[in-house]
């Protein structure tokens, strides 16, 4: 209900500043020092929470919470810990953005205009429940209630500006629908697009260096997970290029990270950029026709690029003055590889389908086998994928 007031009467409740979008939705700007006074820690509202079981008010609020939220467990619980780290980084001045938290209360709130400002008044003793953004809210409470949080961090965090959307005068049934719409109808970006947008990932900064090479400029697929027949102008997906760089940094064990963050505290990032750029430039220059021939050749596939990147780890580990020679040895090792999709790669990079088509398996599934075949002279597969002749298009070394 909209009312006009001459001044604030704090006995009525908390005044949350913002603007009324409509009679049941209020777009607010606040800080956690206020937010913690109108919301409860989601941890206390969980069905198995001891505090909820022993506190009648928490128990009643928890039952209402259960109608519009899922339990804080599994990935949601794990993400709350990661979200805490992210928020602390933002508080400390790091690049980041916190999306608005959607809060709900069944009763219709008074929306008061005082001078030029508008406030939603949350009555004392009433609480707002999150219908979207509860993971973020949980992380905020974790920072504020953790005894290990420094006084400086706690103060800065409490004063951090936050965006909130309050849905009030809305039934529990409609709030459940809001939860569905906000969580289910949203379309998450695919892995490649998500990676391309993550400028905080130090490895993506190296990937950005690599994809500006002349041989790759404009030829890296930024969004799709795979190259289609229509994408003839592209040579490699961003996801496969990142995995190559990850493996230069970590060796073949880098496969385990996939699109997840990779610890790089022990990596010389300048050297990684130089080695990755030199490796990619020479590999794509040397095997350009094979890489472009996706129908017949394996040279540009994810497992092969991951394995070649892992071979580059040996170059990275070499003293700076020996890296050029080590890179020469790497390409000498690849000199007689038969990149054609054929029986020599069966059981290594893939298998034939019932229709007689060679099918390449996933990178995580076969990268180790491909790496062994490319780099280990003592392996039988090393000899299996090579031939003595270096004539023809596929062997223009």
pLDDT in tens, 150-205: 999 999 999 999 999 999 999 999 999 998 888 877 666 666 566 656 667 889 89
Residue length, the chain? 397
Q: How high is the mean pLDDT of the chain?
A: 90
Residue 291: exposure state from Cβ atoms within 10 A (0-12, 13-18, ≥19): buried
Q: If pLDDT is split at 50, 70 and 90, which confidence band does 77 have?
A: confident
Three-state SS at 351? strand
Per-residue model confidence (pLDDT) at position 71: 86
pLDDT in tens, 337-381: 999 999 999 999 999 999 999 999 999 999 999 999 999 999 999
Three-state SS at 114? strand
Same domain, 21 and 122: yes
Q: How far is CA 48 from CA 45, 53, 73, 118, in A?
A: 8, 8, 11, 39
Per-residue model confidence (pLDDT) at position 193: 62
* Mean pLDDT value across residues 123-143: 95
Comparing 73 with 245, which gets the higher pLDDT? 245
Three-state SS at 106? coil
Q: Count how many domains the chain has.
A: 2
Q: Is the pLDDT of residue 230 over 80?
A: no
Q: How far is CA 224 from CA 231, 323, 334, in A?
A: 10, 34, 29
Helix, strand and coil percent figures for the chain, each rounded to 5? 50, 15, 35
Same domain, 180 and 229: no
Q: How far is CA 117 from CA 18, 159, 179, 265, in A?
A: 8, 20, 29, 48
Cα 173 off chain centre by: 32
Per-residue model confidence (pLDDT) at position 383: 94
Same domain, 290 and 347: yes
Task: Choose one of 156, 184, 212: the last residue of a domain.
Answer: 184
* Mean pLDDT value across residues 18-28: 95
Per-residue model confidence (pLDDT) at position 307: 97
List own/partner pairs for 82-87 with CB under 8 A and 24 or more apart.
83/135, 83/136, 83/138, 83/139, 84/139, 84/142, 84/143, 86/139, 87/136, 87/139, 87/140, 87/143, 87/157, 87/160
Three-state SS at 135? helix
Same domain, 375 and 349: yes
Q: How far is CA 351 from CA 225, 304, 309, in A?
A: 21, 15, 23
pTM over 0.85: no
Same domain, 366 and 245: yes
Q: How many CB atoms lie within 10 A of CB 79?
A: 16
Same domain, 336 and 254: yes
* Mean pLDDT value across residues 129-152: 95
Q: If pLDDT is split at 50, 70 and 90, which confidence band does 22 have?
A: very high
Same domain, 122 and 211: no
Q: If pLDDT is split at 50, 70 and 90, which confidence band does 127 have?
A: very high
Q: Please choose, from the candidates 270, 277, 292, the residue with its C-alpha nearest in 3D space to the C-alpha of residue 245.
A: 277
What is the Cβ-side half-sphere exposure of residue 141, based on CA atoms within 13 angstroms? Answer: 17
Three-state SS at 127? coil
Same domain, 41 and 134: yes
* Mean pLDDT value across residues 278-287: 97
Q: Is the pLDDT of residue 227 over 90?
A: no
Q: Are 313 and 247 in contact (CB under 8 A)?
A: yes
Range of the domain at 18: 2-184
Q: Please choose, from the candidates 215, 234, 340, the residue with its C-alpha nearest in 3D space to the C-alpha of residue 286.
A: 215
Same domain, 104 and 120: yes
Residue-wise over 147-174: b if at least 16 C-beta within 10 A, else e? eebeeebbeebbebebebbbbbebeeee
Percent of the chain with pLDDT over 70: 92
Q: If pLDDT is split at 50, 70 and 90, which confidence band does 5 have?
A: low
Same domain, 238 and 283: yes
Comparing 48 with 308, which gets the higher pLDDT? 308
Residue 24: exposure state from Cβ atoms within 10 A (0-12, 13-18, ≥19): middle
Give the whole-angstrom CA distance, residue 116 versus residue 165. 20
Q: Is the pLDDT of residue 1 over 70?
A: no
Q: Is the pLDDT of residue 55 over 80?
A: yes
Q: Is the pLDDT of residue 389 over 60?
A: no
Task: Choose one of 184, 199, 234: the last residue of a domain.
Answer: 184
Same domain, 338 and 208: yes
Q: Is the pLDDT of residue 391 over 70?
A: no
Q: Are 359 and 352 in contact (CB under 8 A)?
A: yes
Kind plus residue range of the DSSP H or E element containing 158: helix 151-158
Same domain, 388 and 256: yes
pLDDT in tens, 309-322: 999 999 999 999 99
Task: Choose one of 184, 206, 232: the last residue of a domain.
Answer: 184
List own/partner pairs for 19-26 with CB under 8 A and 24 or more apart.
19/118, 20/111, 20/118, 20/120, 21/165, 23/108, 23/169, 24/108, 24/167, 24/168, 24/169, 24/170, 25/165, 25/166, 25/167, 25/168, 26/109, 26/111, 26/120, 26/165, 26/166, 26/168
Comparing 396 with 141, which gets the higher pLDDT? 141
């Amino acid at each position: 209900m909209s009312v006009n007031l001459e001044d604030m009467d704090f006995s009525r409740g908390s005044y949350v500043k913002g603007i009324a979008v409509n009679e049941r939705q209020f777009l607010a700007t606040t800080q956690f020092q206020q937010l913690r006074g109108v919301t409860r820690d989601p941890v206390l509202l969980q069905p198995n929470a001891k505090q909820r079981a022993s506190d009648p008010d928490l128990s009643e609020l928890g039952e209402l919470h259960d109608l519009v939220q899922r339990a804080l467990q599994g990935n949601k619980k794990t993400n709350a810990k990661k979200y805490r780290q992210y928020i602390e980084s933002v508080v400390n001045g790091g690049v980041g953005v916190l999306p608005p938290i959607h809060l709900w209360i069944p009763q219709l709130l008074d929306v008061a205009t005082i001078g030029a400002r508008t406030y939603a008044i949350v009555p004392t003793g009433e609480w707002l429940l999150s219908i979207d953004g509860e993971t973020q809210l949980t992380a905020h409470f974790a920072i504020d209630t953790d005894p290990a949080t420094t006084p400086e961090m706690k103060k800065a965090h409490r004063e951090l500006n936050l965006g909130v959307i309050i849905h009030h005068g809305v039934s529990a049934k409609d709030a459940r629908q809001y939860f569905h719409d906000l969580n289910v109808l949203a379309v998450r970006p695919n892995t490649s697009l998500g990676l391309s947008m993550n400028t905080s990932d130090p490895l993506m900064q190296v990937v950005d260096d690599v994809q500006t090479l002349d041989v790759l400029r404009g030829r890296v697929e930024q969004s799709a997970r795979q190259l289609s027949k229509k994408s003839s102008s592209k040579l490699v997906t961003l996801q496969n290029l990142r995995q190559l760089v990850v493996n230069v940094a970590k060796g073949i064990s880098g496969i385990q990270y996939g699109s997840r963050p990779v610890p790089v505290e022990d990596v010389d990032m300048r050297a990684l950029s130089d080695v990755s750029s030199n490796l990619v430039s020479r590999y794509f220059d040397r095997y350009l026709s094979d890489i472009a021939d996706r129908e017949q050749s394996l040279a540009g596939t994810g497992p092969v690029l991951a394995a070649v990147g892992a071979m580059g780890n040996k170059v990275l580990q070499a003293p700076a003055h020996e890296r050029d020679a080590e890179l020469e040895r790497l390409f000498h090792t690849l000199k007689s590889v038969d990149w054609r999709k054929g029986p020599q790669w069966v059981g290594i990079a893939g298998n034939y389908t019932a229709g007689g088509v060679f099918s390449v398996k996933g990178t995580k599934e076969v990268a180790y086998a491909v790496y062994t075949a490319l780099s280990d002279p003592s392996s039988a597969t090393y000899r299996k994928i090579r031939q003595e002749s270096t004539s023809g298009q596929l062997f223009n070394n």
